[in-house]
Each structure stands twice: as C-alpha cells, then as structure tokens.
C-alpha cells in the first residue's frame, strides 16, 4: 500500500528565506505527483503537477522536483513571503485515479 510522508510537519522561517519541503513515497510506480497548498479552513489549491516522466516543474517562485527511483519529491520556495504561510500537501497518483496524500507541512513565514 502506498504511503506518503512529509517532513518536516511544521516549519517557521523569516521572510526572504529560501526553503525546501520534502515528500517521500514508498511505491515508485506512480503516474504523477501533485503539490497543493491549503489555507486554514479552506480547500486545496493545486500548485504543481509532475508527471512520472518529468524531473521537475516550475511556477514562479516554486520549483518541484521528482526522483521516482528514490521515492522522493521536494518543493523549493524561493524568497519566501508571509503570504506563503499555509499547509503544503503532496499527493501521488498510483493509477487508481484517486490520490494518496501526505499529512502536510505547516509553513509559517515571519515578517
């Protein structure tokens, strides 16, 4: 059974720092991996999707990488801002159409 782990569970950084969020999965047979952002009490907003054949995707200050063989993905946030404060979730699609989620990393960017 696929398991997804995110480390750290929580992170607090000063504004302007570059930071890395980690995601690992136990079964490398995935179709894609998706990173989401969730603000308190709200739904999920899709940030980046990396297909299994890709190594990375970029959107603005966000860069996500994927290493299928080692079962790892990272989300890099450059020049963090207080507006980046949220919970970040990674999820993998193993072909059953539904996603398997990690528990998330709660990020606080201090002004």
Partner 1 sequence: DVKVTQSSRYLVKRTGEKVFLECVQDMDHENMFWYRQDPGLGLRLIYFSYDVKMKEKGDIPEGYSVSREKKERFSLILESASTNQTSMYLCASSPTDTGVTEAFFGQGTRLTVV
Of the candidates 48, 53, 79, 88, the residue with the CA atom closest to the CA atom of residue 64: 48
Q: Write out the binding residues for partner 1, residues 51-70 only, by CB under 8 A.
A: 51-53
- Candidates 89, 105, 107, 109; binder of partner 1 (CB under 8 A) is 89
Give me the residue label for tokens 């940030």: 47
How far apart are CB 50 and partner 1 at their closest, in Å?
Answer: 10
Give the binding range for partner 1 (CB under 8 A) out of 18-26, 34-42, 56-64, 76-84: 34-42
Cβ density class 27-49: b for 16+ within 10 Å, e for less: eeebebbbbbbeeeeeebeebbb
In the complex with partner 1, which residue's Cβ is closer, 80 or 92? 92
Give the binding range for partner 1 (CB under 8 A) out of 32-40, 56-64, 65-73, 76-84: 32-40
How far apart are CB 102 and partner 1 at their closest, in Å?
Answer: 7
Of the candidates 11, 1, 16, the residue with the CA atom closest to the CA atom of residue 92: 1
């Amino acid at each position: 059974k696929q398991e997804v782990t995110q480390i750290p569970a929580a992170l607090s950084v000063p504004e302007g720092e570059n930071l890395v969020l980690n995601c690992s999965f136990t079964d490398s047979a995935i179709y894609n991996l998706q990173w989401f952002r969730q603000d308190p009490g709200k739904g999920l907003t899709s940030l980046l999707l990396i297909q299994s054949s890709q190594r990375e995707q970029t959107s603005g200050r966000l860069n996500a990488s994927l290493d299928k063989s080692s079962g790892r993905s990272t989300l890099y946030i450059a020049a963090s801002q207080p507006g980046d404060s949220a919970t970040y979730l990674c999820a993998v699609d193993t072909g059953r159409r539904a996603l398997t989620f990690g528990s998330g990393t709660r990020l606080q960017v201090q002004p």
